[in-house]
Structure 1
Amino acid sequence: MALDTRPLALPTPRGKLTAHAPLAPLVWFKSGGAAQWLFEPKDADDLAAFLSDLDPAMPVMALGLGSNMIVRDGGVPGVVVRLGKAFGAVERVDATTLTAGGGASGIAVSSAARDAGVAGLEFLRGIPGTVGGFVRMNGGAYGREVADILVSADVLLRDGQRVTLPVAALGYTYRHSELPEGAIVISATLKGQPGDPAAIQAEMDRIAEARESSQPLRTKTGGSTFKNPPGHKAWQLVDEAGCRGLMLGGAQVSDKHTNFLINSGTATSAEIEALGEEVRKRVKAKSGVTLEWEIQRVGMAL
């Protein structure tokens, strides 16, 4: 199934709007089809006005660093919104609080927290995504998650309305929030506790070293593929089901960390997703546990 590329009456933004924009270069797996439209807004007002004027029937999806996502080979219908540098600022509010734009990376936020002497945000160093993505997904690593540090999120709803949602309104559970469909996180207020910058840096270094030693970071991958089921570790279930190194076409289960799938260089998104489903099938047969996808799968199959 191909994207509808017929001309549409879209709002005229101040930012960059591109038709049939390839998404593979923008995601970690380096696979998948194009966005019907890719919108890179100039600023929050530009995005709000665009959403307000956009046909309500047009789907809208936010794209961060593309680290935890499979874009299917048929592409993504509607508008994909990519937040750029205008949404990347991280600022200190007080001794323990920061505001971070929806386009800011986990590394940028943790580094700004270190410089401000704010501890408790070091784990963001281990999340390869942006504020918008990990606020939506309640991202976490090394025993901490966004729900532990989020005060509130500034969000643009699908109709362009800007609202501030306190953490309690997001309905956080493990790797899940109740953020409305089509809503885009444009900034977040995060709170830690006073800390020594040197100690904060040491913890960030520990996290970086742990990731480097245990995860296939220098491959075309998508991060953790499956959620950890209650009482289990996903990687261990995958390993026990005999899936370490398993291949399907150009897609492979990582030998280094079995909860990571890899594009060996030639994989289609269909092969990557099919490999994930085969892993789920084998784990279910071996252990009786049904793995749930953590990686977001978007768009249409060919």
Structure 2
Amino acid sequence: MRAATPHRMPVLRGRVEAGASLAPFTWFRVGGPAEWLARPADTEDLLSLLAALDPETPLTVLGAASNLIIRDGGLPGVTLRLPARGFGGIAVEADGIVAGAAALDATVAEHAAAAGLAGLEFLSGIPGSIGGALAMNAGAYGREIVDVLDWAEVATPDGLLRLDAAGLQLAYRHAALPPRGIVTRARLRAAPGEAAAIAARMAEIKASREATQPVRARTGGSTFRNPPGQKAWALIDAAGCRGLRLGGAQVSEKHTNFLLNTGGATAADLESLGEQVRARVLEHAGIDLHWEIKRIGVPA
């Protein structure tokens, strides 16, 4: 990709790559390249980058990219991906877990379970990383990040902040991060519990996901938010969209609130199919579905 206005990249101790392909990082396996892909070595390196970066340079942060469509034209400016080596640490405490932004949600749940800490089992049902979970107040199986968050550390161009749930204004699938703020780690509350009960709950969540969701497909998690008092999947099903296809994209027959890349789909296929689904639901039920999957970047 060639940006209309090339952007300068500050020097990092970590890795920097121009024109890097981003499709391999996304669960859908689609999307164009990054003008610059930066992987800071640690929090200090990240803070230096944010302080030195031209405020006019576009900045995008990728977590596990499990709930994301990157458009086929790619991302201008700087795309940040926090590596596990500098941002994936997990520390177990007596009544909680401190986890780096790059730590996977399921891995955090496993560490809590191994330590006999209850209350974080729901994380095992959320595909993605802790940073991404914070950035959208992710939730599953009756709990959300807002229910367990003590604090999150957020890197900004002006330094490192520590914010609680109120400071982040956590709401349904929403967090208000400071301008150019990037979550680096968070502390999640938990409580001592019975190991057998914790293990049973995690097994129940795993079985439920495998029975109802296309967990082994190229997908992106829940496509649309649930409207108040409604289930998005049921509205999509009632509108006749189960199995609907466009190019290499398909509405899952197993769970209609999931889109699939069946092989060879483009980001445009997936986004256009999602818009077809929205139009059919609006016509059938009079309800305007809102995307839960983020769609970013430049069209082809």
TM-score (norm 2): 0.97
Residue 140 (structure 1) aligns with: 139
Query: 1:171 and 2:169 equivalent?
Result: yes
Q: Matched residues in 1 for 2:154 and 2:81: separation?
A: 15
- After superposition, give the CA deviation of every residue in 1:246-287 in whole Å (9 maximum; x if it has no partner): 001111000000000001101110010000001000001111
1:17 partner SS = strand
How far the C-alpha of 1:5 sits from its partner, in A, is 7.8
Question: Given residue 301 of structure 1, which amino acid in structure 2 is its aligned partner?
Answer: P
Query: 1:197 and 2:185 equivalent?
Result: no
How far the C-alpha of 1:214 sits from its partner, in A, is 0.6
1:169 partner SS = coil
2:290 partner SS = coil
Contact kept in structure 2, 1:77 and 1:299, CA below 8 Å: yes
Residue 260 (structure 2) aligns with: 262
Query: 1:96 and 2:95 equivalent?
Result: yes
Question: Given residue 4 of structure 1, which amino acid in structure 2 is its aligned partner?
Answer: A
Q: Matched residues in 2 for 1:3 and 1:118: separation?
A: 49
Q: Which aligned segments of 4 or more residues in structure 1 are displaced greater than 6 angstroms? A: none
1:39-188 equivalent positions in 2, closer than 5 A: 39-85=38-84, 86-93=86-93, 95-157=94-156, 159=157, 161-188=159-186
Question: Given residue 88 of structure 2, which amino acid in structure 1 is its aligned partner?
Answer: G
Question: Given residue 150 of structure 1, which amino acid in structure 2 is its aligned partner?
Answer: L
Contact kept in structure 1, 2:60 and 2:80, CA below 8 Å: yes
- After superposition, give the CA deviation of every residue in 1:85-124 in whole Å (9 maximum; x if it has no partner): 221111023x212110000001111011112221010000
Contact kept in structure 1, 2:15 and 2:39, CA below 8 Å: yes
Q: Matched residues in 2 for 1:245 and 1:9: separation?
A: 45
1:13 partner SS = coil
Residue 292 (structure 1) aligns with: 290
1:289 partner SS = coil
How far the C-alpha of 1:160 sits from its partner, in A, is 5.0
How far the C-alpha of 1:7 sits from its partner, in A, is 5.9
Task: Select between 20-29 and 179-188 the one with higher mean Cα deviation.
Answer: 179-188
For the aligned residues, what is the CA RMSD?
1.2
Contact kept in structure 2, 1:64 and 1:130, CA below 8 Å: yes
Q: Matched residues in 1 for 2:2 and 2:283: separation?
A: 37
Q: How many residues align?
A: 299
1:38 partner SS = strand
2:166 partner SS = helix
Unmatched segments (≥5 aa) in structure 2: none
How far the C-alpha of 1:192 sits from its partner, in A, is 1.6
Identity of aligned residues (%): 51
Q: Matched residues in 2 for 1:33 and 1:88: separation?
A: 26
- After superposition, give the CA deviation of every residue in 1:133-170 in whole Å (9 maximum; x if it has no partner): 0001000000110000001100012x152100111111
Question: Given residue 120 of structure 1, which amino acid in structure 2 is its aligned partner?
Answer: G
